[in-house]
Amino acid sequence: MALGMSDGSPESGTDESSPALADRTFKALEHLLLIIATAMTLAAVVAEVVLVFEKRSVDLADILLMFLYTEVLAMIAIFYTGRGSFFVFPIFIAITALARLIVLQGKDMAPQNVLFEAGAIFLLAIAALIMGRVKSN
């Protein structure tokens, strides 16, 4: 056996199995990364609010960006609480990001690209509906 490794037997000095230790380690890493993601999201929110106050106007793109941040925080909350469908939130984030892209590109975007992005939003909305129904059944 490798040095420092435990096989979970009483002779090894620990009663914890390697899979249980690995599970606890990965769960701790998950929580650490979620805390970092939360802190980064909150920092981005603060930076965006400061920019909005500096320019003294709020655009639709700013509001959609705040929805993106809100959805990221909601996805983290769903992960911690276990309530709701965790897989629907990335779909909502994608829908909001595509809507923001359409708003930001505005009149400069080719008409067929608007149609493609609107179609993508429609498909994502159908996917969110299906995922929501599957989770509830």
1 — pLDDT class (breaks 50, 70, 90): very low
12 found inside a domain: no
| Percentage of the residues of the chain whose pLDDT score is greater than 70 | 84
10 found inside a domain: no
14-25 per-position pLDDT tens digit: 556 888 888 899
5 found inside a domain: no
1 found inside a domain: no
For the chain, report the end-to-end CA distance as a whole number of angstroms.
47
Q: Which helix (H) or strand (E) holds 99?
A: helix 88-105
The model's pTM is: 0.67
7 found inside a domain: no
31-41 per-position pLDDT tens digit: 899 999 999 99
Is residue 102 predicted with pLDDT exceeding 80? yes
> What 3-state DSSP class applies to 6?
coil
Q: Domain count of the chain?
A: 1
28 found inside a domain: yes
Q: Residue 127 is part of which domain span? A: 17-136
3 found inside a domain: no
**Burial (CB count within 10 angstroms: exposed 0-12, middle 13-18, buried 19+), residue 19:** exposed
40 found inside a domain: yes
